[in-house]
Structure 1
Amino acid sequence: LMYMTRDDRRSVGIFSSLRFQRYNQDELYGIIEERSRLALVETSYTPDILYFISEIAQQFGSGRVAIELLQKSAYISEYRKSEMLENEDVRAAKALINPYITESKLAELDSDELVVLLSICRCLMNETETQVSSIILQADSFCEQYEMKKMDSSKIYRIVKKLETIGLIDGRIVGNGDRKGVSKLIGISDVPVAVLSGKIEKIIENIL
């Protein structure tokens, strides 16, 4: 084969490289829904948790990544001796597959940015996404707790935008319906928010 030209290889159906299909979120959901039906107890997962997995896997467009996320999430849930897959299991699985948030990245943030990120974590304890309005309310509470100057909403919006730009959080725009415009939803998929909260709290305590 090494003596054949590219055109020769193509003419007999031999290709020098393979291009794999990039799946969209709906297709990835279908893949893991089928795998869940075959491999997991029916009561151990919900459509919402499969949607969360497919949303993360969409970043890669890979069915393999989607299945690996599902498998690792199930292993982590089993390790916790839980009967149900949870959002934190999926975040932990993502951290194992493709870790991004590190302590060095957190160390580059100032105290206001850390408080906003901590507020996002708190809002996401039982959710996959949260609104900026909820983050603002939580940030006010943390500023009071840490005896910091309260941040106005415009500053919090700027910090949220920065955190999204540097890849520490996820953001997406959704329509509100009834001609009420759009709103932004914020999420974290790279690490369990409980773990991230603990690291941020230690950093804040050391710098204040």
Structure 2
Amino acid sequence: MLTILGKETSINVRKVLWTCRLLDLDWQLEPWGSGVRDPRVPEFMALNPNAQVPVLREGDTVLWESNTICRYLATRAGDTPLLPADALARARVEQWMDWQATELNGAWRPAFMALMRGSDRFDAAAIAAGVRDWNDKMGILDGQLATTGAFVTGAAFTLADVVLALSVHRWRMTPIEHAALPAVEAYLRRLEGVPGFAQYCGPETP
């Protein structure tokens, strides 16, 4: 059985758990993370030297980085619309997954960490700049969704939607001035019909 090391309140752990559910995989959650069990110990860092959750463990297999874990699980499962076999279609899914990790995550960090996690590392100017950047990045996603009229890469729900649905939910839940993004709002309503969305993007898990 797959073991996922992490906690359900972590946005990156929820990516992996939602992927497991969509693929109908059996897994168990081993509690690790801030406020649960400190990952900055030799036992955990032998698995992930970054001391971050999630970590996947299955026998001798150990993986970290949430988007990589999601891709691995989908590839391991075989034929699944979550990660198309066609090279170009797959690249488009992975393109938006990488964008989420490198561009969108960096944009939300100042505002989210200050307003939702109580961090004092960011002053008012940094928070305001972060909000502008966050809304600008969300505008890029809004344009993509307006083009597809459905999910991030087209008519089918994919791993790009797993990771970006969680990010969109975080944007909506953070008390900032939100840009008017009609395609994103329609996307959120569309996601309500996807199995697992209510559990992993619920109001108690920003």
Instruction: Specify if TM > 0.5.
Output: no
Q: Please give the range of the TM-score, normalised by the shorter of the 2 chains.
A: 0.3 to 0.5
Higher fraction of helix? 1
Larger Rg: 1 or 2? Answer: 1
What TM-score, normalized by structure 2, do the two folds share? 0.35
